[in-house]
């Protein structure tokens, strides 16, 4: 059990990918702190009653006070922090106003930055940070029609690489995954005519995240790992 008695924060842990990550961590013995913004997701979260889950209601992960409260509630020492929380929006540049751009930056990049900062401060003697970027963070042309989202996720990728360099000597390895569209009920409903079998499943993406967050990962840092499946 790679994560036996190790303490892990998982933002976005009540979503489709987050639920798969938390489930796998629990099977491997982790103690999970899961902040939750939406009460509806908290009520539907299948792991909410697990003894090793600490579910914390927050208003906004782009708010410094809320983030500080999450990491204060996590049991010390913190081993890993996995940042799945984010949001998606379409929109061409000509159709995107400042508020829409700012919303994507706050939801995806600023929340990730603040959680990374809190995680580094909470880790004592090393640890792992795993961020979630997206395919447009690596393939910029694929961000056409979703410019604000692509910009925010590219920022997450840049943050990951820069932070990895800053904290490597402290024994903290920082990486990210970059999923394509994942095979979830919501995505299948939104794109019913797509080839869903080509999309990566959430448990497959979760497996990559768990390796990067585990003690078994002893050398990989500063990587933005594509998890595209066959898409």
| Closest by Cα among 203, 193, 122, 130 to 160 | 130
Question: Which residue in the block uniquely carries the two structure tokens 């959680």?
Answer: 115
CA dihedral 95, 101, 104, 110 (to 10 degrees): 170
**Of 177, 71, 154, the residue nearest 115 (C-alpha):** 71
User: DSSP states of 200-229 as a string?
Assistant: PBHHHHHHHHHHHHSTT--S--S-EEEE-T
- The verdict on whether omega for the bond into residue 77 sits within 30 degrees of 0, i.e. cis, is yes
Q: Sign of dihedral through CA atoms 122, 116, 206, 74? A: positive
Just list the catalytic residues: 149
């Amino acid at each position: 059990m790679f994560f036996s008695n190790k303490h892990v924060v998982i933002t976005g842990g009540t979503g489709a990918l987050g639920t798969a990550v938390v489930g796998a961590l629990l099977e491997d013995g982790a103690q999970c702190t899961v902040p939750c913004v939406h009460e509806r997701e908290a009520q539907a979260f299948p792991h909410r009653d697990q003894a090793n889950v600490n579910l914390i209601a927050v208003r906004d992960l782009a708010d410094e006070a809320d983030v500080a409260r999450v990491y204060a509630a996590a049991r010390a020492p913190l081993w890993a922090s996995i940042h799945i929380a984010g949001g998606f929006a379409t929109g061409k540049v000509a159709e995107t106003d400042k508020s829409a751009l700012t919303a994507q930056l706050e939801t995806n990049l600023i929340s990730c930055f603040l959680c990374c900062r809190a995680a580094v401060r909470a880790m004592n003697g090393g640890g792992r940070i795993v961020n979630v970027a997206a395919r447009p963070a690596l393939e910029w042309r694929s961000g056409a029609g979703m410019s604000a989202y692509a910009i925010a996720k590219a920022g997450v990728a840049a943050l990951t690489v820069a932070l990895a360099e800053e904290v490597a000597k402290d024994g903290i390895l920082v990486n990210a995954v970059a999923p394509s569209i994942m095979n979830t009920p919501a995505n299948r409903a939104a794109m019913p005519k797509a080839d869903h079998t080509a999309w990566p499943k959430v448990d497959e993406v979760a497996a990559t995240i768990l390796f990067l967050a585990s003690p078994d990962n002893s050398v990989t840092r500063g990587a933005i790992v594509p998890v595209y499946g066959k898409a």
